[in-house]
Amino acid sequence: MKGGCMTIPKNMRNNQQQIELKLSTIFKEKVNDTPQTFGYFYDANGEKYCAVSVLSKYLGYDMAVGSKKTQNDNNTNPTESIPYAILEMMEDFTVHANPKENLKCFCKRPYYYYYSLISLLIHLNDYHRMTFTQIGNWLESKDM
């Protein structure tokens, strides 16, 4: 990962050259047409996604499909089923950023997400009800 960009894994590339995308680009151009939900990771039909689940799906793991496999275990949180490699890819978007500054929301609401991109995405999606494009614009303003 270079300068807030992410190198897309080989299995997600259409050709042999490396593709590096900023997180803001993913939200503004790659997932912005996905139906969005608020307050849940995905809707009951698995058709609408929040910011975290749409990013997870873009990176290769569909939380709605994955949770159907663990549906018998009512104590399982959907985020607990996200493979470690996907979680690591998500958090790697902040490796070259200044987490203290870039992950700080513009609002005055106290929250604990200062160092977690996943928590920040939940906050922007559910508390501020930002669209994926708005999240992308906000991330772009933070050079992410």
| 47-73 mean pLDDT | 85
30: domain range? 5-141
What is the value of pTM for the model shown? 0.78
C-beta separation of 97 from 143 below 8 A: yes
- Whether 57 shows a pLDDT value over 60: the answer reads yes
String of DSSP letters for 100-137: HHHT--SS----S-TT-HHHHHHIIIIIS---HHHHHH
Q: Which helix (H) or strand (E) holds 20?
A: strand 20-22
Task: Tell me which amino acid residue 123 is.
Answer: H
Could you tell me the CA-to-CA distances from 104 to 21, 45, 87, 98, 117 in Å, in that order?
A: 22, 33, 20, 10, 10
C-beta separation of 121 from 102 below 8 A: no
Number of domains present in the structure of the chain: 1
Round the average pLDDT of the chain to a whole number and report it. Answer: 80
C-beta separation of 128 from 107 below 8 A: yes
pLDDT of residue 56: 96
pLDDT of residue 49: 97
Task: Indicate the range of 19-23, 67-71, 129-133 predicted with least confidence.
Answer: 67-71
The closest of 129, 128, 125 to 41, measured between CA atoms, is 125
Polymer length in residues for the chain:
144
- Whether 19 shows a pLDDT value over 80: the answer reads no
pLDDT of residue 114: 61
- Whether 142 shows a pLDDT value over 80: the answer reads yes
